[in-house]
Structure 1
């Protein structure tokens, strides 16, 4: 390799203690390294767009048939099974494409925030080499989410037996607060599994719980703000990729799907840039080093931190 993959760009970072400061720092990241962020965006957008196009071409006609026959009560179970058989590979592909996009977004954001740079190919090689870490962390996050859902449903059922209006409101607030906290810890844990060496799964989630101490309300507020900003985009993406509008021609419909896909990718890109910055600020508040860990990207490639904070 003809030189180090990372090099200092802008020195140390300025602390962003409040929520507005974290959002402001996240919005600055694309400006600090426009070339890398544009490359990452198109690398993330391309497979998503391809999946949307393939889904439209392969599953679209069958979805329309199932919808039409369901409305006329002539639905053939074979069509339903065929649609499920087509959707399963798309769901699996969507998960893996999302994991790859999230991982490369987080690490490229971490590099830029720490004043470093890298080529796109080196980033891709590194992400491929550590793919098990985000997958294992995702499994632990899913277990955490399932546990939360089960406990929440049981609590709601028990409260419903009491029939108290006030109890229902209090429980709703508690469940929502726990969700926001768990979401912030889960996303932080996912970020940690990407940017830190040999820290993933339950260990990454445990570290996220530790470094978010003293910033729980801030983490929850960040999740709430990002959720409110993202919901309209996610709804539009879902509607344009699943709803078959007979009044639109194929070109117009795909144009709407492409626009929704672009907005969906931009939303995800920004969400994880924000949490990457938040992760570093949580570490800073606990007096931990902000240096990136050494990681293998492939034969002969080693990522080495060159900038550290005192």
Structure 2
């Protein structure tokens, strides 16, 4: 049976940046019974990843740094040099193997959490009740499509990072004047960061589209381009605020770890305190990631409203369906 859900923002007035941030902050309270388990799973996942990295990789990395320091101090005798290099090779393989397993498990855990969280927030925003069974059905139905869209986003991010690094590196190599080199390098970094924020907003919205609607991959990326028209400034500011918060969350512990005994800097905290600080940073980062998903969910609906697509969304058995422009459907059919 089909029915129509009542959207949270009934007014046709477009929401500003602060309104979107506030509405996103309210979404967890509108679906507390589903949000709390997702929050626990997110915190548990980030804690496990942090502990795995700290316990299995950090000691090996510290040993690698110490061996590298020995090599940089001066030439070693032949047998000793061969032994150190062999040990470093084994440790590098160990780090690569452990990190690959941790990254793979973390990637798929975050993928399922992403689908569940986006859909929970979308249902909460539209005022539609959602049961755990309906949520699990949606996760099982859309995880593959979300995986494909996320891989596209990953490849695009890597491509943009590589291209921007090549451009900045080339400019720095051809410049002879130090003052011009410094100013041009800073300017290019700012431009690259601004473009990345712009692109990341569209890519994040494509993930929301994949979870909520029936298009995915190239179709979701194309649809995000259409919705992003006339909403560029608002989306850029939202992503800038979220990234600034993430820099603060991970930057403050980093500054504490870099502190030294030389005045006026305080001495670095003990190892146990460092572990607690980074654990809290990882938990805060997980909370921020969930809040960012709420922000992009609200922003997605606001983009729909700005294009006159704020009509009621059709829902059947907990699944949300929306009609897509013919151009987008055609793109999706071309790129399965």
Q: Distance in 1 between matches of 2:93 and 2:208?
A: 37
Q: Deviations over 1:100-156 (max 9, x none)?
A: 222222111111111123233532342133211111111211232233234323433
The correspondence of residues 85-124 of structure 1 with structure 2, limited to 5 A, is 85-124=97-136
Alignment partner, residue 44 of structure 2: 46
Distance 1:233 1:131, change over 3 A: same
Q: Distance in 2 between matches of 1:187 and 1:246?
A: 37
Matching residue within 302, 305, 318 for 1:303: 318
Q: Distance in 1 between matches of 2:321 and 2:153?
A: 32
Whether the 8 Å CA contact 1:196–1:292 is kept in 2: the answer is: no
TM-score, reference length from structure 2: 0.74
Question: After alignment, is 272-281 or 163-172 more displaced?
Answer: 163-172
Is 1:71 the counterpart of 2:45? The answer is no
Matching residue within 197, 205, 208 for 1:191: 208
**Unaligned stretches of 5+ residues in structure 1:** 296-301
The structural deviation recorded for 1:159 is 4.1
**Unaligned stretches of 5+ residues in structure 2:** 72-83, 257-267, 323-336
The structural deviation recorded for 1:167 is 5.9
Alignment partner, residue 9 of structure 2: 13
Q: Distance in 1 between matches of 2:23 and 2:92?
A: 47
Q: Distance in 1 between matches of 2:254 and 2:45?
A: 17
The structural deviation recorded for 1:200 is 0.9
Distance 1:246 1:92, change over 3 A: farther
Tell me the matched-pair count.
289
Whether the 8 Å CA contact 2:4–2:314 is kept in 1: the answer is: no
Larger Rg: 2
Distance 1:184 1:79, change over 3 A: same
TM-score, reference length from structure 1: 0.79
Q: Deviations over 1:194-239 (max 9, x none)?
A: 1111x11111111111111011111111111111011122446889
The structural deviation recorded for 1:177 is 2.9
Alignment partner, residue 296 of structure 2: 275
The structural deviation recorded for 1:255 is 4.0
Is 1:284 the counterpart of 2:300? The answer is no
Q: Distance in 2 between matches of 1:70 and 1:305?
A: 55
Distance 1:176 1:256, change over 3 A: closer
Q: Distance in 2 between matches of 1:306 and 1:196?
A: 6
Distance 1:167 1:88, change over 3 A: closer
